[in-house]
Structure 1
């Protein structure tokens, strides 16, 4: 998908959606794209991370805005979408007007979930919202990705298999494993692609996810 609107969303907090949204937006900007990251979460974590990036003078710069209200998000996105090549929306943590608006306006929703049964059950909520959005947004794609996945053990496979219960979301076999480098990078407004020391495993996982999305 090239030049599309992507929402990284979930109705559950703590699944790492902001970290994923930051990594995707920054990676696209590093590839020469004109990117807009919309923070649609009331907590504003993505906006804070990009403010830290801006204060540090890190390039490429990422345009950002914080719209936690669904009506405001809808109005601003419809007005400004033509100015950018790629738009990434960080939405959710709860069922909100902003998340619902983002789903209706997006081409693709990326649903991160962790390899724990409670997180997989929570996928049912976002799956229901996706089905509702498809009633008015024909062609909305939904992809599920294991985020903060285990480096070993069977929990990853069990969680991926459980996602089959929600046909509204297609599973991507490109897990992002739990790595300190990813968390450290995001805290500084960076993608793991920029982090030093370099984490080749984390970079390979992110690149595999980006290739699957775009």
Structure 2
């Protein structure tokens, strides 16, 4: 994808994600792989009001080639996800209430979900009887170290749909912008269902 087309796609995705309430304040960061590297949102911008000047163009090694502003420190995690799954074309990082709270409630390093028809919205899952697993990582301000933790986990269990960062949010990924958006919407529905299930069970 060309850089200008990538920026347009992310502007549209930003409006959609913002309308859902999944990127409050200036939270989140988005990227798309391009012919020369990838395009990523600069830090500090409301994702519902993105403009072409709010993006940075990076090469395949993550060095800035064009654009104004400061890259988010989390850009390194985007780069790592592209390296781990070469078919990935888009990474969207969001801060929904459901993803943030659920990632703190689950004490282990995996969120396991099964029994929901909506699981089939995710690539490779064809039945509600399958178990969807999403890796959870402790939040870390050292993004390079966090990226290495993700890489090590990927060696044991490939990262396909995304990862949760505890108390932080979701990094969703896909083989296109459309697939990444579908993965976010499907996962957010599942996260919300799990939170409701936990609340109901605790009240019994």
TM range (shorter): 0.3 to 0.5
Q: Relative contact order (C-alpha < 8 Å, sep 6+): which is higher?
A: 1
TM-score scaled by structure 1?
0.31
